[in-house]
Chains A and B, each alone.
Chain A
């Protein structure tokens, strides 16, 4: 399982209700269900992923986050999770607002565009980074809103979102020490546990 997902698992209370936005094939939700006994719902728009999630016995709803989450009531979930999708939605700040309205707590992970490799790529070549981690060209990519660790934290400050905990993931085969010490420069993925 992707590293950020392993990290956030520990923040989810056993037996809680979890809404997973952009849940993919449901691997994470299935693990939460079996290991943490959570009651989960996943939202996804990719057809094959939805089928895969349903095949795992999960409750998956086809719903586009860009069309809002008005069908979910205030405080109807203990935790709302959105892993690696913040950069792909039309209005990230509005999705965050909705997550915080629906969940008592939220967990957000995103790729850190401030990581030194991105900066080096952009700085030296003068072109938008393309790598194994971010394999898309600028003109054909689901990732329309890249941000850095600092960008995200300043957004949280502006919107008075409380950061309960944060964790950082560095490049593979790396203990994450640098990523935790200087996240904006070394984290490849940022993980935030937030609340209103």
Chain B
């Protein structure tokens, strides 16, 4: 039996495409004259369109969140742990929509697309994006799919930030908001790591000011280093110690041996970096990290997240992971406290997990239980 046939898998899925020739004016003031979004759906939309759930992806995510594209796929979508029949987001009850965000490099309009105004690829000239641009484009997709109000908007990390922005921008279109391992804004440390990633990319000689495709090259090394830095921040010290320790992949420390040594963690990181550099666009990475850096939920609400949340009508579930140091539990508690101060309906759980920020993608029993319990409530209300 292939994995796609498993009872808890959504099985084989086919990406779909929606065109929006009407365009969109972005937060930066520039206008996309037309754009496309690529998306997948799992489950069936019910007659009154009340069971729709939007899944927002994080920095390097895309529309393929669950199931398989072909029988030969080795891995399912990035959040297959949580989406499927009988899973936390149960596709027997929910109609799940997952899209590649605007500016992405997996099929939606982004730096790799042709700018209709110039007839050339956008490349580094793609307009800067904010989380709210994603939210507005997602709302246009919801209109297209006949979804007036989401039963829930759900996301981890940068996806959680989009979910919160949804609750403020479209309070009448979100009944529940699930915010996992996120924050109301990035810390200086977060921005610093993103800056290292961008510097790694832009200082790669193959970057060519972002016009690498015209030179028929790709800033692979820079992109790989960017991913390596990012990846370290997704794992915890303990997780790396458990998984790699100081184990050697090659070489030894014997006296008299001048053979070089390679630690397992080095080879793992390099593998992560090189795989990523083959599949991700450098301009998109820069664009996405900038959108993350700019995100500040409360900026136009007097820097008071409680005032920001006063706009929201949704009920919230906030989840964090004990060893996540990228968006630590303290950052999630800030979200919870702001929601409490705003008098909103909120539940919060801090999941004990060794895996750091990446935990939100992993099958941690307590995480799946509490997430599933809340989704049960989403079904009932």
Question: Chain A interface (Cβ within 8 Å of chain B)?
Answer: 41, 47-48, 50-52, 54-55, 57-63, 71-73
Measured between beta carbons, the chain A residues less than 8 angstroms from B336 are: 61, 71
Q: A59-B346, A59-B347, A62-B349 are in contact. Are A51 and B337 (CB under 8 A)?
A: no
In angstroms, how far is the closest chain A Cβ from the Cβ of B318?
9
Instruction: Across the interface, name the chain A residue whose C-beta is closest to B378.
Output: A57
Asked if B340 contacts A54 (CB within 8 A), the reply is no
In angstroms, how far is the closest chain B Cβ from the Cβ of A48?
8
Asked if A71 contacts B374 (CB within 8 A), the reply is no
Expressed in whole angstroms, the Cα–Cα distance for A72 and B346 within the complex equals 13
Residue B341 lies at the interface, judged by CB distance under 8 Å to chain A: yes
In angstroms, how far is the closest chain B Cβ from the Cβ of A115?
36
Q: A54-B370, A54-B373, A55-B373 are in contact. Are A72 and B348 (CB under 8 A)?
A: no
Q: Is the interface of B mostly helix, strand, loop or mixed?
A: helix
Asked if B340 contacts A62 (CB within 8 A), the reply is no
Those 8 A-B pairs whose CB atoms lie nearest each other, nearest first: A55-B373, A71-B337, A54-B373, A61-B348, A51-B370, A57-B377, A62-B349, A51-B369
**Count of B residues near A, CB < 8 Å?**
23
Expressed in whole angstroms, the Cα–Cα distance for A58 and B315 within the complex equals 11
Instruction: Across the interface, name the chain B residue whose C-beta is closest to A70.
Output: B337
In angstroms, how far is the closest chain B Cβ from the Cβ of A98?
14
The one of B345, B366, B369, B373 in contact with A59, judged by C-beta atoms closer than 8 angstroms, is B345
Instruction: Across the interface, name the chain A residue whose C-beta is closest to B332.
Output: A62
Q: A51-B369, A71-B337 are in contact. Are A61 and B346 (CB under 8 A)?
A: yes
Asked if A73 contacts B381 (CB within 8 A), the reply is no
Instruction: Across the interface, name the chain B residue whose C-beta is closest to A55.
Output: B373
Expressed in whole angstroms, the Cα–Cα distance for A73 and B374 within the complex equals 26
Expressed in whole angstroms, the Cα–Cα distance for A57 and B381 within the complex equals 9
Measured between beta carbons, the chain A residues less than 8 angstroms from B347 are: 54, 58-61
Q: A59-B346, A72-B340 are in contact. Are A54 and B377 (CB under 8 A)?
A: yes
Residue B290 lies at the interface, judged by CB distance under 8 Å to chain A: no
Instruction: Across the interface, name the chain A residue whose C-beta is closest to B340.
Output: A71
Instruction: Across the interface, name the chain A residue whose C-beta is closest to B336.
Output: A61
Measured between beta carbons, the chain A residues less than 8 angstroms from B16 are: none
Measured between beta carbons, the chain A residues less than 8 angstroms from B317 are: 54
Asked if B377 contacts A50 (CB within 8 A), the reply is no
Expressed in whole angstroms, the Cα–Cα distance for A86 and B346 within the complex equals 25
Give 22 pairs: A residue, B residue, CB < 8 Å, sorted on A. A47-B352, A47-B370, A48-B369, A50-B370, A51-B366, A51-B370, A51-B373, A54-B317, A54-B349, A54-B370, A55-B373, A55-B376, A60-B349, A61-B340, A61-B347, A61-B348, A62-B348, A62-B349, A71-B337, A71-B340, A72-B340, A73-B341
Instruction: Across the interface, name the chain A residue whose C-beta is closest to B317.
Output: A54
Measured between beta carbons, the chain A residues less than 8 angstroms from B377 are: 54-55, 57
In angstroms, how far is the closest chain A Cβ from the Cβ of B176?
11
Expressed in whole angstroms, the Cα–Cα distance for A50 and B377 within the complex equals 14
Expressed in whole angstroms, the Cα–Cα distance for A50 and B337 within the complex equals 18
Expressed in whole angstroms, the Cα–Cα distance for A63 and B317 within the complex equals 14
Measured between beta carbons, the chain A residues less than 8 angstroms from B348 are: 60-63
Q: A50, A57, A62, A72: which has the most chain B beta carbons within 10 Å?
A: A62
Asked if B333 contacts A71 (CB within 8 A), the reply is yes
Expressed in whole angstroms, the Cα–Cα distance for A62 and B350 within the complex equals 7
B332-361 vs A, CB cutoff 8 Å, 1 = contact: the mask equals: 010011001100011111101000000000
Expressed in whole angstroms, the Cα–Cα distance for A133 and B376 within the complex equals 35
Expressed in whole angstroms, the Cα–Cα distance for A61 and B344 within the complex equals 12
Residue B380 lies at the interface, judged by CB distance under 8 Å to chain A: yes
Q: B348, B366, B376: which has the most chain A beta carbons within 10 Å?
A: B348
The one of A41, A54, A61, A72 in contact with B374, judged by C-beta atoms closer than 8 angstroms, is A54
In angstroms, how far is the closest chain B Cβ from the Cβ of A78?
13
Measured between beta carbons, the chain B residues less than 8 angstroms from A50 are: 349, 370
Expressed in whole angstroms, the Cα–Cα distance for A54 and B337 within the complex equals 18
Instruction: Across the interface, name the chain A residue whose C-beta is closest to B333.
Output: A71
Q: A48, A54, A72: which has the most chain B beta carbons within 10 Å?
A: A54
Asked if A47 contacts B380 (CB within 8 A), the reply is no
B115-126 vs A, CB cutoff 8 Å, 1 = contact: the mask equals: 000000000000
In angstroms, how far is the closest chain B Cβ from the Cβ of A47?
5
Measured between beta carbons, the chain B residues less than 8 angstroms from A48 are: 369
Q: A59-B345, A73-B341 are in contact. Are A47 and B366 (CB under 8 A)?
A: yes
Expressed in whole angstroms, the Cα–Cα distance for A72 and B341 within the complex equals 7
Asked if B345 contacts A57 (CB within 8 A), the reply is no
Instruction: Across the interface, name the chain B residue whose C-beta is closest to A63.
Output: B348
B299-337 vs A, CB cutoff 8 Å, 1 = contact: the mask equals: 000000000000000010100000000000000010011
